[in-house]
């Protein structure tokens, strides 16, 4: 499950992606917050994290604000999830980037919890790793991509 913080970040990025495809101007944080229905005080912190990761840029001056600097198809949703929410694995012993041995597990190879959740998690990863910001801003009917297939399957 994604957090509210993640939802706010994705909504803001969707606004910035639409602006990039349209007029291409930087948007003030107030405008992003209004368009996305996100509280401004939370959005400021989220956008700083996303900016520091190199997905967006902040522009100073009268016409300043935030702008998406990567193509939407180059913005991985799983990378954003890890950035904003941290590890996405259901167990620490399954995490790619934040691996930790479970304290109560004597043998990972025979651990049924790890085996069962590992199968589910790897299937989830195949899908989530294939999704990009473009999947969120394109219409599912026209994109024909992974997101459209996931929607049809009810995922």
Token pair 């012993």 in the structure block, residue: 93
Question: How many angstroms separate the Cα of 143 from the Cα of each of 81, 85, 132, 135, 146?
Answer: 22, 27, 12, 7, 9
Residue 33: CB atoms within 10 Å? 22
Residue 147 confidence (pLDDT) above 90: no
Q: Tell me: the pLDDT tens digits for 61-71?
A: 887 899 999 99
Ramachandran region of residue 91, left (φ > 0), alpha (ψ -120 to 50) or beta?
beta
Residue 145 pLDDT grade (very low, low, confident, very high; cuts 50, 70, 90) = low
Q: Is the pLDDT of residue 152 over 50?
A: no
Could you write out the DSSP letters of every residue in 110-151? G-HHHHHHHHHHHHHHHHHTT-BHHHHHS-HHHH-SHHHHHH
Which residues partner with 67 through β-bridges?
57
For the chain, the domains span 4-68, 88-153
What pTM was estimated for this model as a whole?
A: 0.80
pLDDT value for 96: 80
CATH of domain 4-68: 1.10.10.10
pLDDT tens figures, 79-111: 999 999 999 888 888 888 888 888 888 888 889
| Of the candidates 135, 144, 140, the residue with the CA atom closest to the CA atom of residue 17 | 135
């Amino acid at each position: 499950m994604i957090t509210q913080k993640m939802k706010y970040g994705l909504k803001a990025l969707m606004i910035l992606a639409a602006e990039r495809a349209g007029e291409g101007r930087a948007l003030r944080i107030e405008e992003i917050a209004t368009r996305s229905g996100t509280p401004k005080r939370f959005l400021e912190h989220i956008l700083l994290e996303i900016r520091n990761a190199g997905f967006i840029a902040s522009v100073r001056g009268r016409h300043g604000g935030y702008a998406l600097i990567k193509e939407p198809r180059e913005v991985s949703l799983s990378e954003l999830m890890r950035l904003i929410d941290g590890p996405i694995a259901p167990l620490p012993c399954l995490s790619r980037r934040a691996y930790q041995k479970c304290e109560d597990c004597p043998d990972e190879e025979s651990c049924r919890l790890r085996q069962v959740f590992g199968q589910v998690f790897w299937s989830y990863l195949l899908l989530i790793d294939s999704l990009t910001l473009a999947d969120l801003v394109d219409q599912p009917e026209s994109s024909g991509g992974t997101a459209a297939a996931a929607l049809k399957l009810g995922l």
